[in-house]
Every structure is written in structure tokens, then in C-alpha cells.
């Protein structure tokens, strides 16, 4: 199971959506799935094209969460059992423009 480490911007993004109870529940569910099985099909895991190391997963129809796997395997693929650095929680389009 990977360890999830939030960035400062991630925590700021979470604070901005604090009043949205439904979104907070969806974020918690997504973080739980990411921690237990980062390759779970329900996460809709995707590479972020304009960033060489960032990935994203779906929170709901509107929001996504970006992150960096901290360790790569010798072949260059992420080691999904190692630490994951949480970057942002943003609207889909905003996240893909600025994943960090």
C-alpha cells in the first residue's frame, strides 16, 4: 500500500472545498482507493500529457486529483507500492492546464 503525502497546494485546494460535503466525501473515497489500489479501474488513472511525471485520477464528473508517484521501477514505470505525492484537486480543465 502506498503512503500518500499531500503538498501545500493540495491542502489549500482541500480547504477551498471544505464547505462542499459531497465533494469532500468523494475526495475521501478517491484517496482511500488510491491508497489501497492505485490501479483500480474506478479511478480512471491517466497520465497528464503536459507534465512528464504527473498522473491524475477522477474524483467525480467535474473534479480530478493530480499526483506524482515518488519512485520509478528500472523500466521507467511508476512503483505503485511506494509513496505518492498528492499535488492538486481541481476542476478537470484547470488541472490539466496546471497539474502542480
Pairing of strands 46-47, 4-6: unpaired
Backbone angles phi, psi at 42, to 5 degrees: -70, -15
Of 99, 68, 87, 70, residue with least CA distance to 6: 87
Distance, in Å, from the CA atom of 63 to the CA atom of 43, rounded to the nearest integer, reads 12
Domains and CATH numbers, the chain: 4-97 (3.30.2310.20)
Q: What is the pLDDT of residues 46-99, one digit of tens each?
A: 999 999 899 999 999 999 999 999 998 998 889 999 999 999 999 999 999 999
The confidence score (pLDDT) of residue 76 equals: 83
The mean pLDDT value for 16-30 works out to 95
- What's the DSSP call for residue 85? E
Residue 1 has pLDDT above 90, yes or no: no
The mean pLDDT value for 18-41 works out to 95
Distance, in Å, from the CA atom of 20 to the CA atom of 39, rounded to the nearest integer, reads 27
Exposed (0-12), middle (13-18) or buried (19+): which is 86, by Cβ within 10 Å? buried
User: In what helix (H) or strand (E) does residue 66 lie, and over which residues does it extend?
Assistant: strand 63-69
Residue 23 has pLDDT above 90, yes or no: yes
The confidence score (pLDDT) of residue 46 equals: 94
Amino acid at each position: 500500500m502506498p503512503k500518500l503525502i499531500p503538498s501545500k497546494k493540495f491542502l489549500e485546494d482541500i480547504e477551498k472545498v471544505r464547505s462542499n460535503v459531497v465533494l469532500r466525501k468523494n475526495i475521501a473515497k478517491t484517496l482511500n482507493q488510491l491508497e489501497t489500489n492505485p490501479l483500480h479501474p474506478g479511478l480512471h488513472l491517466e497520465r497528464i500529457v503536459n507534465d512528464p511525471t504527473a498522473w491524475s485520477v477522477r474524483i467525480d464528473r467535474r473534479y480530478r486529483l493530480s499526483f506524482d508517484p515518488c519512485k520509478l521501477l528500472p523500466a521507467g514505470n511508476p512503483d505503485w507500492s511506494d509513496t505518492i505525492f498528492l499535488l492538486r484537486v481541481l476542476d478537470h480543465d484547470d488541472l490539466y492546464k496546471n497539474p502542480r
